[in-house]
Structure 1
Amino acid sequence: MERVQFEQEQMLDELKDLVEKKLFTVKETKQILKQRTQYEAALVRRVAKKADFLRYAQYEMSLEQLRRKRAERLKIKSSPQTISDYALVRRQFNIFERALKRFKSDVGLWIEYISLAKKEGARTLVGRITARALQLHPNVPALYILAASHELDHLSPSSARSLLQRGIRMNGESVEMWREYVKMELGFMESMRRRWETLGISGESSAQEVMAGAVVTAVISKAVQALDNKQLVLELDELITSFPMPDRVRQSLLQHLYRQAPVHAARLIVERSPNVEGVAQAHELIVAANVSPQEYRELTSEWTLHVQT
């Protein structure tokens, strides 16, 4: 129980500070100490469970939420900082660190830790956690996506791009990775378009190419070449359709996607519009793409069934 006693000693200064600031009463801090001791005792037993760590972390999150509400109500200034301003969040991080020493293979635990660090604005910590997680789990697309999202939140598109490209090298058959890569480039395209239009430099050829979606079309081409997959085409179609951008750019990107994957695109068109108009649009697409005679026969046979039903 030496570890439990050590942790108790580490709590004393922050609990004293909470009382001095009138955020918690002496009675409440005694209850906190008792509750934490029970959680710590559960963690040092021979076979601690992941749920024990998560319950402890959740308790600390609730305490921190209550502390912040009371500090706001009492209009307590956060400057200069004292130990209770950061100790509860630091304890949450510490609990996850201890949990991951035992459960390194648990991807969900890594993701929860990263999400917590992001929520608390611990940018450097997020970078360190994701680097460790990716080293252990290089074939988990969600980790690359989380890491890239964090970089984008801090206005670092080049770092986000590098992370997604690395994720694709490791997970080239992941529809999720390719969709997020296209989504990131769409976001970059739109942010540049708005900035350049504000600055009045939209007439330059390089700016025109970016605003017309040149980078995005290149990524779409790579995605379809790497993954001949109907689900990929469906998700990219939905992404482009819903993403806020000028309609002319949207139509250009959709047409490019359809030209790159005409068979999958034709099937999607008919599934969405199982009528004469849908079949006519799909037929025009595959004729222009010059698909093989076998693919043509298969598609037209499918469409006959769609229209009949």
Structure 2
Amino acid sequence: MERVQFQQEQMLAELKDLVERNIFTKKETKQIMKNRTAYETTLVRRVAKKSDYLRYAAYEMGLEQLRRKRVERQGSGHGPPTISDYALVRRQFQIFERALKRFNSDVGLWLQYIQLAKKEGARALVGRITARALQVHPDKPGLYIIAASHELDYNSHSAARALLQRGIRLNRDSVEIWREYVRMELGFIESLQRRWEVLGIGIEGKDQGTVDPSEDIMGGDPEIGEGVLETVGPQATLEGDTGTVARREIMKGAIVKSVITSAAEALPTVELFETLYKAVEEYPSGAEVREGILAHLYGEVRKSAVGKEAAAIRLVAMRSLRGGPKGAELVEGIKHANEEILGHITDGAAVVAMYRDFVEDWCARASVDGAVVSGLCLDCYGC
């Protein structure tokens, strides 16, 4: 019970401040003390449960919400901060810290702690929690993604890149982390483009201001510069004409293409290619960038070990039908897809079955935007 008594003593200052500021009454603070004592008693048991910690934390969260509402209603939140302004949130953090000492292997508990820290705007704490969580669970891709997302929220692309690369080294068979890596690099292109526009740096090297292009590409981080140089080529530098080449290639998605190539070498599966396709297709990039990256992705599909599987063949063949073409474009798209699949028709029964489904699907559409689809199936089998 000494631990319980110690925790009670730690509560006195904040409860006194709450009463003095008329946020809670003396009667309410006595009830708070009683409830906390009950929760603390359950935590000092020999076999404490995770649910005991979570209930305690939920109680403190509700108490903090009530405090904030009362402070807002009183209009007394503009003065100098006092202990009661942060004590309840700090107690929530302490409860999770105590819980993690007992349940260090519980990933869900780490995630809840991270969410709480994010909710309270504790940026530095979020970074420390994710770093600790990754030390305990280096085989959990989701933690790397959360950590990288946190860094991206504060425009730290280099830190996010380093985290995802570390996660990939330890979890090369994770489709999820490869997808997030591609998304992150797509976001880097967009952010770089916006920065160059603001700074007056032209992609073709015609700088409208006095800013040094090489400094902007580096972004103050040598790791980004090195990664760009490795991707664009060993002969490229970030000055003069070759700097223009580097900028142009970056904006065309050279880094993203390099990531896709690495992913294809590490995890050549249809699931990976389909996931990366959706990631690139759904990201709001420019049409030229998207088409260039997807063309590279299709090339990697063809070269991979699964390039002759039915699902991979269909993924590449359907490229001509992306975006919902109409009229003559639809007719031409179906023709190209049909020819693409027919070229692999001898690759196995699975391809034949996929082709049959493709034919039946389009033949079932009597008319699309005025084009009679059934009339396109002259070379189809069994239509």
User: TM-score, normalized by length of structure 1?
Assistant: 0.90
| CA spacing shift, 1:17–1:286, aligned 2, 3 Å | farther
Within a 5 Å distance, the mapping from 1:230-241 to structure 2 comes to 230-241=270-281
- 1:32/1:286 Cα in 2 relative to 1: closer, same or farther (>3 Å)? farther
Q: What is the aligned residue count?
A: 304
Please say if 1:255 is aligned against 2:295.
Answer: yes
1:66 is matched with 66
Equivalent position amino acid for 1:280 in 2: H
Q: Which residue of structure 2 aligns with residue 184 of structure 1?
A: 184
1:142 is matched by which residue type in structure 2?
A: G
**Comparing 69-78 and 212-221, the one that deviates more:** 69-78
Question: Residue 225 of structure 1 aligns to a residue in which SS?
Answer: helix
Structure 1 counterpart of 2:266, one-letter code: A
Q: Which has the larger radius of gyration?
A: 2
Q: Read off the aligned partner of 1:231 and give its amino acid letter.
A: E
1:30 alignment partner in structure 2: 30
Q: Deviations over 1:245-279 (max 9, x none)?
A: 11121122122111111335432366897x99557
Separation in structure 2 between the aligned mates of residue 286 and residue 143 of structure 1, nearest angstrom: 44
Distance in 2 (CA, whole Å) between partners of 1:194 and 1:100 is 42
RMSD over aligned CA atoms reads: 2.5
> TM-score scaled to structure 2, two decimals?
0.73
Q: Equivalents in 1 of 2:255, 2:156: separation in Å? A: 17
Q: Distance in 2 between matches of 1:55 and 1:76?
A: 30
Aligned to 1:10: 10
Letter in 1 for 2:292: S
Residue 266 of structure 1 is matched in structure 2 by: 313
Distance 1:50 1:294, change over 3 A: farther
The letter of the residue matching 1:224 is A
CA distance in 2, matches of 1:59, 1:299: 58
- What residue number does 2:241 align with? none
The answer on whether the counterparts of 1:266 and 1:282 sit within 8 Å (CA) in structure 2 is no
How far apart are 1:53 and its partner, in Å?
A: 0.4
Q: Is the Cα contact below 8 Å between 1:139 and 1:171 reproduced in 2? A: yes
Whether the 8 Å contact between 1:270 and 1:303 is mirrored in structure 2 is no
Shift of 1:88: 0.7
**Corresponding position of 1:210:** 250
Q: Which residue of 2 aligns with 1:226?
A: 266
Structure 1 range deviating more: 75-84 or 54-63: 75-84
- C-alpha separation between the residues in 1 aligned to 2:52 and 2:166? 35
Which secondary structure does the structure 2 equivalent of 1:261 belong to?
helix
- CA distance in structure 1 between the partners assigned to 2:312 and 2:70 by the alignment: 56
Please state whether the residue corresponding to 2:53 is helix, strand or coil: helix
> Superposed, which structure 2 residues align to 1:1-309 within 5 Å?
1-198=1-198, 199-204=200-205, 205=244, 206-262=246-302, 263=307, 264-268=311-315, 277-278=333-334, 280-281=336-337, 283-284=339-340, 295=347, 299-308=351-360
Deviation, structure 1 residue 86: 0.8
Paired residues of 2:314 and 2:341 also in contact (CA < 8 A): no
Aligned mates of 1:256, 1:28 — CA distance in 2: 65
- The superposition leaves residues 149-198 of structure 1 with CA deviations (integer Å, 9 ceiling, x where unpaired) of 11111221111100000000000000011011111111111111122133
Q: Do 2:318 and 2:337's aligned partners in 1 also have CA atoms closer than 8 Å?
A: no
Q: Relative to structure 1, is the Cα distance of residues 34 and 132 closer, same or farther in structure 2, using a 3 angstrom cutoff?
A: same
Structure 2, unaligned runs of 5 or more: 206-243, 322-329, 362-383
Identify, as 1 or 2, the structure richer in helix: 1
Question: Which stretch shifts more, 13-22 or 202-211?
Answer: 202-211
Give the residue type in structure 2 aligned to 1:281. Answer: A
Aligned-pair identity in percent equals 58
Contact 1:14-1:84 at 8 Å conserved across structures = yes
Q: Distance in 2 between matches of 1:15 and 1:284?
A: 74
CA spacing shift, 1:209–1:97, aligned 2, 3 Å: same
Cα deviations across residues 78-123 of structure 1 (Å, max 9, x unaligned)?
5422111111111011000110111011011111111211222222
SS of the residue aligned with 2:295?
A: helix
Q: Which moved more, 1:248-257 or 1:72-81?
A: 72-81
Distance 2:358 2:341 in 1: 17
Taking the aligned partners of 2:163 and 2:146, their CA distance within structure 1 comes to 10
Higher alpha-carbon deviation: 46-55 or 67-76: 67-76
